[in-house]
Chain A
């Protein structure tokens, strides 16, 4: 158990809908990262937050957004969902967000029908 929690574990929804994925980092970690794992794209970095502020952006679609709250939990919002958004979404956390080891949560499996 990495200490990073993600909810829900599974999510099934329809095209065009909006969903929110939630992540709680390990105790003491200030940085949160979101990754997407799909069959065709592999593991891709989406976005990083550090202590409530966005620090880095990767291949995140405009339909996706994220935030980190004062209690350091983070949410990833996915809207206008398409079939291709079906994937495993991981959250990871690290203490400082600078070349630390990232510890990954169990992931949220999103299925868009």
Chain B
């Protein structure tokens, strides 16, 4: 069965530190999609990235970068030089391509960036 594990419940860092949020997934599908969403204190879910299972290239977007490793079923998210505005709950999600296209979410990692 499909599953997403975010083992880090809460992480606290000091501003300007780098931080990596871990995501491990399980699926039997060969084609699937992985996502990261940010949930700031205001509560909305903000889309950050979508990656398909055939694209293992790492991606960088400003201070954000993502490392997808199929061999370890991981899709980790790194924030470089963290800022207070990065404080939020971050969710990793998996969408398969057989059956439904619902998202399976991890339990989220709460990131606190201290000034």
Contact = CB atoms under 8 A, between A and B. Distances in A.
A64 interface: no
A33 B42 CA distance: 21
B35 A98 contact: no
Q: Majority SS of interface residues in chain A?
A: strand
Contact of A103 (B47, B95, B105): B47
Contact of A2 (B47, B95, B99, B107): B47
Interface string A62-100: 000000000000000000000000001010100001111
A90 B39 CA distance: 12
A33 B102 contact: yes
A42 interface: yes
Interface in B82-104: 91, 95, 97, 99-104
Interface residues of A, number: 26
A58 B102 contact: yes
A43 B91 contact: yes
A104 B50 contact: no
A56 B102 contact: yes
Contact of A99 (B37, B44, B101, B108): B101
A99 B33 contact: yes
Given A104-B37, A107-B43, A43 B100 contact: no
Contact of B97 (A33, A58, A99, A104): A99
A101 B102 contact: no
B81 interface: no
Residue of A43, A48, A103 with most chain B CB atoms under a 10 A cut-off = A43
A99 B34 CA distance: 10
Nearest to A100: B101
B7 interface: no
B29 to A, nearest CB: 10
Interface of B: 33, 35, 37, 42-47, 50, 91, 95, 97, 99-105, 107-108
Interface of A: 2, 33, 35, 42-45, 48, 55-56, 58, 88, 90, 92, 97-107, 109
